[in-house]
Amino acid sequence: MSITLGGVAAAPELPDVLPPRRARGRVMRFVVQHPTIVAGGLLLGVMVFIAIFAPWLGTRDPEAISPIYRLRPPQAAYWFGTDMLGRDIYSRVIYGSRVSLGVGFSVAILASGIGMAIGVVSGFVRWLDMALMRIMDGLMSIPGILLAIALMALTRGSVYNVVVAITIPQVPQVARLVRGVVLTLREQPFVEAAVASGTRLPKILIKHIVPNTMAALSVQATYICASAMVIEAILSFIGAGTPPTIPSWGNIMAEGRALWQIKPYIVFFPAVFLSITVLAVNLLGDGLRDALDPRLAKRL
Amino acid sequence: MLTYILRRIAATVPVMGLVALFVFSLLYIAPGDPAAIIAGDQATVQQIAHIRASLGLDRPFLVRFADWFWHVLHGDLGTSIFTNLPVLKMIEQRAPTTLSLMTITLVMSIAIAVPMGVLAAWKAGTWIDRTIMVMAVLGFSVPVFVVGYVLAYAFALQLPWFPVQGYVSLSHGFWPWLRSLILPSLTLGGIYIALIARITRATMLEVLSQDYIRTARAKGVGRREILYVHALKNAAVPIVTIIGIGFAALIGGAVVTESVFALPGIGRLTVDAILQRDYPVIQGVVLVFSFIYVLVNLVVDILYTVFDPRIRY
Amino acid sequence: MGMKRRTFLGASAAALAAPAVARAAGVLKFIPQADITILDPVWTTAYVTRNHGFLVFDTLYGTDAAFNASPQMVEGHVVDNGGRLWTMKLRDGLKWHDGERVLARDCVASIRRWGARDAFGATVLQFADEIAAPDDRTIRFRLKQPFPLLATALGKAASNSCPMMPERLAKTDPFKQVTEMVGSGPFRWNARERVVGSLAVYEKFQGYVPRPGGVASGTAGPKIVHYDRVEWHIIPDAATKMAAMQSGETDWWENPPADNALVLKADHSLVTRILDPTGLMGCMRLNHLVAPFDNPAVRRVVLDAVRQEDYMVAVAGTDPAMWHVPTGIFAPGTPMASDVGLGRFTAPKDFGKLEAALEKAGYKGEKIVLLLPTDLPELKAEAEVSADMFRRMGFNVDAQASDWGTVVQRRASMKPVAEGGWSVFSTFWTGLDQLSPAGHVFLRGQGKAGGQPGWPSSPAIEALRNQWLAAKDVKTQKELAVKLQQQAFIDVPYIPLGQFFQNTSYKKSITGVLDGIPVFWNVRPA
């Protein structure tokens, strides 16, 4: 099940709709065969570029307050206008890409890593399986957002905490996915043969199991990444997100929401950036799934 | 079947116990002090300590947990620190709102998304298909609260079709009740519609390529019959699965939707309780949520057997 | 304020005709600032609970728009024995919502319970040798020394007000909440329809006898109710509140934020204006126990760095009608306020010079922890302006974001910042609380004994405050108020950040909304 996502953004499939054609050159062939990967990858690349080169993209200090210039509409001096404290929204949105992408990637990597470890252990070590899966059930049954708010209250608001808070509810999903794959793999002749020939467990894991779960996992990771970015925004809405001194798309939108009727640009620009990025990551995920494992695309 | 259900229910008991202990410990180590919030801005440190003692918050962790757990086993979730009302009563008061919201969201999402998915599958590869699928991805790319504001602005302020906020209980009539929930359900349903539309399309594509459908087509069975009788029936299992999985996302979205539309539901109750550190309420609500989650997934598993007779427990 | 024998008895006799009989009609739908999670106005200082208290509970005295105390539940009082004996007489016909008569001993118990929690109330108890109820309608105060402010204290509209409850409820431990809502106010609490976080319903109390004669003003004068039912609709989100006013679903929004108010002002079906002319006073508290703010010289440099306009624009918008700077330690325009030493708050700031002054004062680069609440927009704005200011002055700032619940706990810690302590937080307090030193929580200098987070210690301020409380006339009080302000800018118990006003917005179809705290008598269909 590649769609086991308790988070907000889960995308099961966006298939190739273009028929394969004879193409000249490997690049062209790749583009034609995997248009979603290319489109998603390009869009995401642009976002990553923006995040890395934020200081050189005509931005100013995103945290500098100047109340006198508050709530200016978009104009030559302030491309996206200014917010309630007179900060430049363009600079905040550009710098905000660092937090949003950072949160998305970190959560995806952490959740897949931890989930994979738990899933593999659970799938191979019978006596631990029961206990681990019950704990995962418990974690899964606590709504992710509520857990995140509680964790946020646990310590001070920080980007680090946002990452931890979003990661925890995602781990069980990955663990279950990986466990499922491991359980099927364990019965495969090549794994049985390895076990029978006395290969040590770590070696089996690294040689046979991990590579074979990568396909499912990388697809899952992209969806986690997308949903993490959306959850970051929702946490900010509730007041439990990235601290207000660090700009993120979520907290720019959350701060501007009371005024969205009068000053829609405060919410509009970060919302557009967020939507494009989530779209890019989802496209990438769909494309990856089709490319890595055609069977997976057909299955649920 | 019955033994399976009983076994499943029995298996949830330790899970619920774990959840209870986890949440209780989390709150215990969390900073934030209800006594200080109650006492207010001008309170002295001594006064805060006095209030803390009168609320029993100065007792050791294990004593408090044991006390609470003992009462939970007897069906008593305690009383709110702030309102002094029984937690169970507060949840009872709020539950109809959240359940109504979720039910209408579910019904509406299925009503919109399944035809969308079927259409996309039938027209696979055309611009119709692509438009529907891009819309589906966008559905979960835009944060819930942005969708809510835009819908409220368009269909409550500019076109005064629906109320801006508030919940009208079913006892005031079906139409007023439905009217108060349509915008919130559309807001919350965005994610669901996207998920269900995509899963429907995917399964339909797979089913449509199967031999027996091809045979049916060749035999001249009508297009509508193929779609709705043969194909959709087989697509039901994955759709039901996604509904069960999406439930957790729905709760998260409900927290936000209830805030935007000022609905007195359980989601907002929880957020308010967390921000005030109203421990008994938080514990009670989380317990209830995880219970519902377990229940929904049990129902989903049972539905499998209804839709797909090959599955047996 | 000569303290000769003075009487208010029969003050209403001169009043004109009896008030027109109120014609109760319909429902008034109100959006309060927050939910009233706590119903007991003595148990908490939350303003929303205080406002709720004035519907359900009556007070012995009221405060009018000019801040004068005048009799409300009492007919009047007689002061004897050189100001040391006050005898108050209850009005006839006062009833509790459960039908019982209001007795003097109910009131005595209520005053005692309030005195255990409120700062001004504690001063009353401290001055009183005896508070007694010699008969059903008489309340007698025997005082250690003349206390001219007694009526003012009992009639205060600021938190905690002094609500009258039946003795059985007033005997409740002051540190335990009263949740049975039986008062003698103009409205009854409808517990059956209450939905926490969503709806509170008040019904007109048929047995309420408004004060005869006079004019309703603030919490004083006749409380005549024109609606059968007042509903408080709790809406958490500002954008939704605004939409509810625009669509006409609600009649009155207590406190639209400045930027939303601009839009509501343009709406011809609404009246949007300032409700409480004393406004809200921004206050920044530095922690006097922890370095570097244990050093008065460093505190004074911070005092000089504050530009109040920056705070006010961030909190209340660019319309200068919505805020007032510079402000000192008392609400501007009230008798105790003065301009002494206020030039610093408007002077242009040279952060290079401030940084040098800071070094000279002995700042050694210690980390300062600034508490930044994320869930209250005004406090968040204040803290963000502060963070920016401290950074520019060369402080090593750690702005710690959390919800308000964590801030109030965190600030009770006396420990160094490395062990979970704090250096600075800001809040606001209504101008009503800062009319005089009596109820001014931030203007104390009792150190650790005071128990106020920040623990400022200033014997000079305490001495001046005691002199003020015993002052015999307004002239002396004013002189002492100036000295207090000068002293406050030396010891810096807190830093005033300016005064801002909150709008209220209601439909043109209602009229009679009184200035001050939101009250629900006198309001009627236009």
Query: Beta C138-143 vs C85-90: how paired, if at all?
Result: antiparallel
Q: What CA–CA distance (Å, rounded) separates A216 from A223?
A: 11
Q: Which residue in the set C243, C408, C410 is minimally distant from B152, CB to CB? A: C243
Chain A contact for C24, CB < 8 A?
no
- 8 Å CB contact between C304 and C326: no
Q: In this model, does residue C1 exceed pLDDT 60? A: no
- 8 Å CB contact between A166 and A240: no
Report yes or no on A214 lying in a domain: yes
- C105 Cβ partners below 8 Å, 6+ apart? C133, C136, C167
pLDDT at C142: 96
Cβ contact (<8 Å) for A85 and C384?
Answer: yes
Q: What CA–CA distance (Å, rounded) separates A123 from A184?
A: 9
- 8 Å CB contact between C330 and C435: yes
Cα-to-chain-centroid distance, residue B83: 26
- 8 Å CB contact between C191 and C202: no
Q: Each residue of A56-88: pLDDT tens digit?
A: 887 888 888 777 788 888 888 888 988 888 889
- B189 Cβ partners below 8 Å, 6+ apart? B105, B108, B109, B112
Confidence of residue B32 (pLDDT cuts 50, 70, 90): low
Q: Each residue of C351-403: pLDDT tens digit?
A: 999 999 999 999 999 999 999 887 788 898 899 999 999 999 999 999 888 77
**Burial of B89 by CB count in 10 Å (0-12 exposed, 13-18 middle, 19+ buried)?**
middle
**∠ CA C52-C56-C58 to the nearest 5 degrees?**
110
Q: Each residue of C452-466: pLDDT tens digit?
A: 889 999 999 999 998
Interface list for B 31-50 with A (CB within 8 A) = 31-32
Arithmetic mean of pLDDT over chain C: 89
Confidence of residue C35 (pLDDT cuts 50, 70, 90): confident
Q: CA dihedral defined by A26, A30, A32, A36, rounded to 10 degrees?
A: -160
Cβ contact (<8 Å) for A262 and C406?
Answer: no
pLDDT at A12: 39
Cβ contact (<8 Å) for B41 and C405?
Answer: no
- 8 Å CB contact between A160 and A103: no
Instruction: Give chains near A: 3+ CB pairs under 8 A.
Output: B, C
Chain C contact for B230, CB < 8 A?
no
Confidence of residue C6 (pLDDT cuts 50, 70, 90): very low
Provide the domain limits for residue A92.
Answer: 33-292
Q: Which residues on chain C are in Cβ contact (under 8 Å) with A239?
A: 374-375, 403
The CA distances from residue C456 to C290, C301, C444, in Å, are 11, 17, 7
Cα-to-chain-centroid distance, residue B181: 15
- 8 Å CB contact between A97 and A55: no
Chain A contact for C238, CB < 8 A?
yes
Average pLDDT (C296-309) is 95
Q: C511 — phi, psi (to 5°)?
A: -145, 170
Cβ contact (<8 Å) for A257 and C399?
Answer: no
Confidence of residue A156 (pLDDT cuts 50, 70, 90): low
Helix, strand, coil % over all residues of chain C, rounded to 5: 30, 20, 45
Q: Each residue of A138-153: pLDDT tens digit?
A: 777 777 677 777 676 6
Cβ contact (<8 Å) for A65 and C385?
Answer: yes
Cα-to-chain-centroid distance, residue C214: 25
Instruction: Please report, as a single letter, which amino acid is at residue A88.
Output: D
- 8 Å CB contact between A175 and A204: no
Tokens 């899933």 -> residue:
A119
Cβ contact (<8 Å) for C381 and A85?
Answer: yes
- 8 Å CB contact between C24 and C205: no
User: Testing the interface with C: which of B27, B45, B171, B179 to mutate, by most C Cβ within 10 A?
Assistant: B45
- Please tell me which residue of chain A has the smallest CA distance to C241: A258
ipTM of the complex: 0.79
Tell me the shortest Cα–Cα distance from C361 to chain B, in angstroms: 31
Listed ranges A55-64, B259-268, C130-139, C191-200; the one with the highest mean pLDDT: C130-139
Q: Which residues on chain A are in Cβ contact (under 8 Å) with B275?
A: 153, 239
Q: Which residue in the set B199, B245, B274 is minimally distant from A153, CB to CB? A: B274
Report yes or no on A41 lying in a domain: yes
Q: CA dihedral defined by C250, C254, C259, C263, rounded to 10 degrees?
A: 40
Q: Which residues on chain C are in Cβ contact (under 8 Å) with B160?
A: 247
Cβ contact (<8 Å) for C237 and B153?
Answer: no
- 8 Å CB contact between C3 and C83: yes
Chain A contact for C260, CB < 8 A?
yes
- 8 Å CB contact between A20 and B216: no
Q: In this model, does residue B182 exceed pLDDT 90? A: yes
Per-position DSSP letters for C30-72, written without gaps between them: EE-SS------TTT---HHHHHHHHHH---SEEE-TTS-EEES
User: Testing the interface with C: which of B83, B168, B281 to mutate, by most C Cβ within 10 A?
Assistant: B83
Query: Beta C280-286 vs C510-511: how paired, if at all?
Result: unpaired
Listed ranges B90-104, C117-131, C285-299, C436-450; the one with the highest mean pLDDT: C285-299
Tell me the shortest Cα–Cα distance from B291 to chain C, in angstroms: 23
- 8 Å CB contact between A70 and C318: yes
Report yes or no on A298 lying in a domain: no
pLDDT at A121: 86
Tell me the shortest Cα–Cα distance from B244 to chain A, in angstroms: 9
- B178 Cβ partners below 8 Å, 6+ apart? B104
Cβ contact (<8 Å) for B164 and C453?
Answer: no
Q: What CA–CA distance (Å, rounded) separates C54 from C36?
A: 13
Q: Each residue of A76-119: pLDDT tens digit?
A: 888 898 888 888 999 999 999 999 999 999 999 999 999 988 98
Instruction: Give chains near B: 3+ CB pairs under 8 A.
Output: A, C
Tokens 């996207």 -> residue:
B194
CATH of the domain at A228: 1.10.3720.10
Report yes or no on A23 lying in a domain: no
Report yes or no on A300 lying in a domain: no
pLDDT at B310: 58
Interface list for B 12-51 with C (CB within 8 A) = 31-34, 36-48, 50-51
Cβ contact (<8 Å) for C159 and B42?
Answer: yes
Q: In this model, does residue A4 exceed pLDDT 50? A: no
Cβ contact (<8 Å) for C43 and B41?
Answer: no
Cβ contact (<8 Å) for C239 and A257?
Answer: yes
Report yes or no on A230 lying in a domain: yes
Cβ contact (<8 Å) for C196 and B32?
Answer: no
- B224 Cβ partners below 8 Å, 6+ apart? none
Q: Each residue of A200-239: pLDDT tens digit?
A: 877 877 777 777 777 778 878 888 898 888 888 888 877 7
Tell me the shortest Cα–Cα distance from B189 to chain A, in angstroms: 11
Q: Each residue of A251-280: pLDDT tens digit?
A: 898 888 888 888 888 988 999 999 899 888
Q: Which of A234, A279, A159 is nearest to B133 (CA)?
A: A279
Average pLDDT (A286-294) is 69
Q: Which of A31-35, C7-11, C45-49, C400-404 has the lowest mean pLDDT?
A: C7-11
How many of the other CB atoms lie within 10 Å of CB of C416?
A: 17
Report yes or no on A19 lying in a domain: no
Largest pairwise CA distance in chain C: 71
Cβ contact (<8 Å) for A278 and B14?
Answer: no
Give the gyration radius of chain B's Cα atoms: 24
Q: B81 — phi, psi (to 5°)?
A: -65, -35
% of chain C with per-residue pLDDT over 90: 65
Interface list for B 250-279 with A (CB within 8 A) = 251-253, 255-256, 259, 270-271, 274-275, 277
Beta bridge partners of C371: C400
- H or E segment and range at residue A225: helix A210-238
Cβ contact (<8 Å) for B252 and A141?
Answer: no
Q: Each residue of C262-271: pLDDT tens digit?
A: 889 999 999 9
Q: What CA–CA distance (Å, rounded) separates C382 from B109?
A: 43
Beta bridge partners of C524: C511
User: Testing the interface with A: which of B130, B140, B195 to mutate, by most A Cβ within 10 A?
Assistant: B140
Overall number of domains in chain A? 1
- B193 Cβ partners below 8 Å, 6+ apart? B109, B112, B113, B116, B136, B139
Q: What CA–CA distance (Å, rounded) separates C502 from C273?
A: 8
User: Testing the interface with A: which of B9, B12, B13, B137 to mutate, by most A Cβ within 10 A?
Assistant: B137
Q: Which residue in the set A157, A239, A262 is minimally distant from C259, CB to CB? A: A262
Count Cβ neighbours within 10 Å for each residue of B203-235 and write b for 16 or more, e otherwise: bbbbbbeeeebeebeeeeeeeeebbeebbbebb
pLDDT at C21: 40
Cβ contact (<8 Å) for B289 and A142?
Answer: yes
Report yes or no on A12 lying in a domain: no
- 8 Å CB contact between B101 and B266: no
Q: B180 — phi, psi (to 5°)?
A: -70, -15
Chain A contact for B286, CB < 8 A?
yes
Q: Each residue of A163-209: pLDDT tens digit?
A: 988 888 889 888 888 888 888 777 778 777 887 887 787 787 777 77
User: Testing the interface with A: which of B123, B141, B195 to mutate, by most A Cβ within 10 A?
Assistant: B141
Question: Would you mind telling me the total number of residues written for chain C in this entry?
Answer: 526
- 8 Å CB contact between B203 and B239: yes
Cα-to-chain-centroid distance, residue A55: 24
pLDDT at A2: 32
Q: In this model, does residue C242 exceed pLDDT 70? A: yes
Interface list for B 107-166 with C (CB within 8 A) = 149, 152-153, 156-157, 160, 163-166
Three-state SS for C230-290 is EEEECCCCHHHHHHHHHCCCCCEECCCCHHHHHHHHCCCCEEEEECCCCCEEEEEEECCCC
Tell me the shortest Cα–Cα distance from B123 to chain A, in angstroms: 11
Interface list for B 135-154 with A (CB within 8 A) = 136-138, 140-146, 149, 153
Confidence of residue A17 (pLDDT cuts 50, 70, 90): very low
Confidence of residue B41 (pLDDT cuts 50, 70, 90): low
* pTM tops 0.90, yes or no: no
Beta bridge partners of C70: C62
Q: What CA–CA distance (Å, rounded) separates A105 from C255?
A: 41
C264 HSE (CA, 13 A, CB side): 33
